[in-house]
Amino acid sequence: MPSIEQTLKHAFAAIDKRSDDLIGLSQSVLSDAESGYREHRTAAKIDKWMLAAGLSPRTEIAITGIVAKVETGRPGPNIAVIGELDSLIVPAHPNAHPETGAAHACGHHAQLGNMLAVLTAVLDPKVQATLSGSVTFMAIPAEEYIELEFREQLRSDGSIEFFGGKQEFVRLGEFDDIDMAMLTHTTAEGIPGAIISGAHNGMIGKTAEFRGVASHAGAAPHLGVNALNAANVALSAIHANRETFRDADYVRVHPIVTHGGDAVSSVPAKVNIETYIRASNIDAMIDGATKIDRALRAGAMAVGAEVEILTTPGYMPSRYDPVMADIYRKHAETVFGAENVRTSGQRASSSDAADLSMLMPTIHPWVDCATGNGHGADYLVQDYDMAVVKAGKAMTATVVDLLSDGAALGTRVLNSYRPEMTKERYLAQLREFRSEKVYTE
């Protein structure tokens, strides 16, 4: 049996042979970005690649998702390698879609490339012959928690239940036979290399609609009820609560006004706000959500308006597996250089990869290969060799290590892991987060 080093030599050679194609695929996705649950063109590109590789991908999972499984024919764990299909909406981004404003200001296009790099390596006969178990490749929609009204409509018509793509994959049973999961994200922190992710915040989503009474803003404002004033009072009340959040909980609340009135000559009768409540643990998420509800209600009551508050399940706080992370670190140090691998602490951002970490061993490493502000118009992947090729090699090496020698290491990882939740409890918790309330007094 070849050594792991010999297997990785074949695996990396397979990736290097297709490196231009892998980078080209990522850049093609960059130039034609699509937001969550709309990624039909992006999904078609991944489907085409997988078909050309000789696989039989299943498509249209959770609207646009794709799954393809590579089985070795020998027993062992099933590892999911994930790429995210969706983009943000950043119209000022240089690569924004001219009609929709969709833009990869977070680097998911590179994720798809590094996922396919692992696929390319695993399909090499000399690599596959040394492995046990399976590797499942998942292109998953809708990681970015945006366009909530659109997703609420999808939920209403039965197309989805949850707003996050990985949540939908869990609900649909796509992770039922998956034992562990991994994906690699890009970032721009100014120190090129790989980052072992410490933790992500969880979050809950809220939309609030303030309803007042329209009236002539100049001639008869006294006959109206100003919904914008209600929203302004609510925003001030939210700010007044910030000092009550504990630093240790990493709470973040960041509302925006999505509709501020209909005409300047009319007292605003409808104003809409969206916000997240993020925190490092579920108790702090729920505490923050309770305080935000109270602030929203207070704003409406202060001016005699009413408010409808829709709370939607966001993402769980993460519990990334330290054993699996150490295995990845060992290989990342080989690929990137030991001096170029570091560990991050708690991140106040959120990801639905954290949801998977409640259920199975999961890692979410980063590669620092971009410039600009994440989610901003200036966010650009600069080093595609790092984002696609090296990131793909580090994940490939992790997969090979876990599944070599009869999948002995992968089996040890599974034996040491204790899930935070069962699938049933996880789905129940998401559903418990959801509520819709109208306050008139």
The C-alpha atoms of residue 91 and residue 362 are separated, in whole angstroms, by 33
- Measured distance CA(7)–CA(100) in Å, rounded: 44
Q: Hey, what domains does the chain have and what are their CATH numbers?
A: 4-198+318-425 (3.40.630.10), 202-315 (3.30.70.360)
Measured CA to CA, the distance from residue 316 to residue 354 in angstroms comes to 6
- What is the tens place of the pLDDT at every residue in 304-360? 999 999 999 999 999 999 999 999 999 999 999 999 999 998 888 899 999 999 999
Q: How far apart are CA 84 and CA 69, in angstroms?
A: 17
Which helix H or strand E contains 102, and what residues bound it?
strand 102-103
Segment 401-424, tens digit of pLDDT: 999 999 999 999 999 999 999 999
Measured at the CA of 150, the angle between CA 267 and CA 378, to 5 degrees, comes to 90
372-393 in b/e burial notation, b at 16+ Cβ within 10 A?
Answer: eebbbbebbbebbebbbbbbbb
CB–CB of 423/358 below 8 Å? no
CA atoms within a 13 Å half-sphere pointing along the CA-CB vector of 41: 14
Joined tokens for residue 316: 């769980």
CA distance 234 to 366: 37
- Measured between alpha carbons, how far is 329 from 347 in angstroms, rounded to an integer? 19
Instruction: Identify the helix (H) or strand (E) that includes residue 13.
Output: helix 4-17
What is the percent of the chain where pLDDT is above 90? 96
Residue 298 has a CB neighbour count (10 Å cut-off) of 18
Residue 1 pLDDT greater than 80, yes or no: no
Tell me which residue of 349, 350, 331, 348 sits closest to 340, measured CA to CA.
331
Q: What pTM does this model have?
A: 0.93
- In the predicted model, what is the mean pLDDT of the chain? 96
Residues 82 and 101 sit within 8 Å (Cβ to Cβ): no
Cα–Cα distance list, 239 to 209, 244, 296, 302, 347 (Å)? 19, 10, 11, 16, 22
User: In DSSP terms, which residues pair with 41 in a beta bridge?
Assistant: none
CA gap 323, 14 in Å, rounded: 28
CA angle, residues 230, 232, 236, in degrees to nearest 5:
115
CB 327: neighbour CB atoms within 10 A? 21
Phi/psi of residue 275, each to 5°? -155, 160
- Measure the CA–CA gap between 246 and 70, rounded to whole angstroms: 46
What was the pLDDT predicted at 197?
82
Q: What is the mean pLDDT of residues 209-237?
A: 98
Q: What is the pLDDT of residues 135-146, one digit of tens each?
A: 999 999 999 999
- Report in angstroms the alpha-carbon separations of 205 from 36, 169, 294, 310, 362: 16, 19, 15, 8, 24
Position 148 confidence tier, pLDDT thresholds 50, 70, 90:
confident
Q: Is residue 12 scored above 80 in pLDDT?
A: yes
The confidence band for 18, taking pLDDT boundaries of 50, 70 and 90, is: very high
Tell me the pLDDT tens digit for each residue of 172-199.
999 999 999 999 999 999 999 999 988 9
